[in-house]
């Protein structure tokens, strides 16, 4: 069996053709998960997940519900999982050779350093070489920002419709230059906050996006308080509590926080210390209590509740203060 995908599908189309024609709620009145989250004003902070790296493989649509179910990538998925690396399928770029990109966490720099290589005749072999610490032929540093918009319709209808539209519309504006690659990707988590995006190599996750908000995030334009309610967190932090505290600090510190190496340290009694290192000047630190908030159960997207839905917890940040 070939380890390469078949012909590239039209990347402009959602996996479920009907999904692009439907709104946040279904015709039968069943609510979509993203509509419900907006109605309930669900705070996305703390939902980004924590990963040692990201493996991006160009792979044409259609994708199964879980990309680990792609037979040619099953071994890659298992190897990535063992290394705490998140596997992402990415819609190939038109008339471009298939590529594999690997972002590895570098704590000292506070970013995910990216390398990419031609997939060659065996995408899986190229991906496995990256995961094993090797350097595939033709490897080069990634010198652009990858903006991965979730458009995984088989996983979630909201992402399939809203995410796909966001990717297409953002590209169509012509407002982003060659420093950015906006691409449609598989499930990134947080579909209830659709449209969502993952920005690499900085490792930040965002939800409730529209084109203007996404461009503001990328260009660091306007006040961060305008987009703080869209911030899911930094995947280089190791807990939801640290991500929730970071989101609260984004409003106070400003955009520059997202460029600093940073970490959260869990203390006693729900207290957390957050440390960040600016490129100039002394390190900075804050402490706060990060306490459990609401427990919420989003509905299954476009389907009646069954009683077995997964619940999520919000976190509230209180008593936040900078310390010497």
Give mean pLDDT in consecutive 10-residue pieces for the chain, a chain of 324 residues.
50 38 46 84 96 98 94 98 98 93 94 96 97 97 97 78 91 92 93 93 97 97 94 97 98 96 94 96 96 88 68 93 93
The Cα–Cα gap between 250 and 77 comes to: 33
Is the omega angle on the peptide bond into residue 188 within 30 degrees of 0, that is, cis? no
pTM over 0.85: yes
Rounded to 5°, angle at Cα 272 from 267 and 276: 120
Given this model, what pLDDT does residue 194 score? 87
Given this model, what pLDDT does residue 34 score? 80
| CATH superfamily of the 29-238 domain | Glutaredoxin (3.40.30.10)
Tens of pLDDT, residues 167-220: 999 999 999 988 999 999 999 988 889 899 999 999 999 999 999 999 999 999
Burial of 109 per CB tally in 10 Å (0-12, 13-18, 19+): exposed
Centroid of chain to Cα 99: 19
Given this model, what pLDDT does residue 324 score? 84
Burial of 172 per CB tally in 10 Å (0-12, 13-18, 19+): exposed
The Cα–Cα gap between 234 and 205 comes to: 6
| Alpha-carbon dihedral angle through residues 305, 312, 154, 50, given to the nearest 10 degrees | -170
Query: What token pair was written down for 101?
Result: 């990109």
């Amino acid at each position: 069996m070939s380890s390469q995908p078949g012909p590239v599908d039209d990347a402009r189309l959602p996996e479920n053709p009907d999904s692009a024609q439907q709104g946040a709620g279904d015709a039968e009145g069943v609510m979509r998960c993203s509509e419900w989250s907006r109605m309930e004003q669900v705070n996305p902070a703390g939902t980004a997940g924590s990963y040692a790296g990201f493996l991006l493989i160009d792979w044409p649509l259609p994708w199964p519900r879980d990309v680990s179910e792609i037979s040619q990538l099953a071994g890659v998925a298992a190897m990535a999982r063992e290394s705490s690396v998140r596997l992402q399928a990415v819609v190939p770029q038109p008339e471009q050779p298939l590529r594999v990109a690997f972002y590895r966490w570098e704590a000292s720099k506070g970013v995910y350093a990216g390398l990419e290589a031609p997939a060659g005749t065996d995408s899986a072999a190229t991906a496995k070489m990256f995961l094993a610490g090797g350097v595939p032929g033709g490897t080069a540093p990634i010198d652009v920002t990858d903006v991965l918009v979730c458009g995984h319709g088989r996983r979630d209808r909201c992402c399939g419709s809203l995410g796909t539209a966001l990717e297409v519309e953002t590209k169509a504006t012509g407002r982003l230059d060659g420093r950015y690659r906006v691409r449609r990707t598989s499930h990134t988590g947080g579909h209830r906050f659709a449209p969502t995006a993952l920005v690499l190599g900085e490792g930040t996750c965002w939800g409730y996006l529209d084109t203007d908000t996404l461009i503001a995030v990328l260009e660091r334009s306007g006040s961060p308080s305008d987009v703080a309610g869209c911030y899911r967190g930094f995947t280089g932090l190791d807990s939801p509590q640290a991500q929730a505290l970071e989101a609260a600090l984004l409003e106070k510190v400003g955009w520059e926080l997202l460029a600093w190496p940073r970490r959260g340290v869990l203390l006693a009694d729900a207290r957390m210390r957050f440390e960040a290192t600016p490129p100039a000047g002394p390190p900075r630190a804050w402490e706060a209590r990060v306490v459990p908030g609401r427990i919420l159960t989003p509905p299954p997207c476009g389907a009646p509740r069954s009683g077995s839905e997964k619940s999520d917890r919000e976190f509230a940040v209180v008593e936040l203060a900078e310390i010497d």
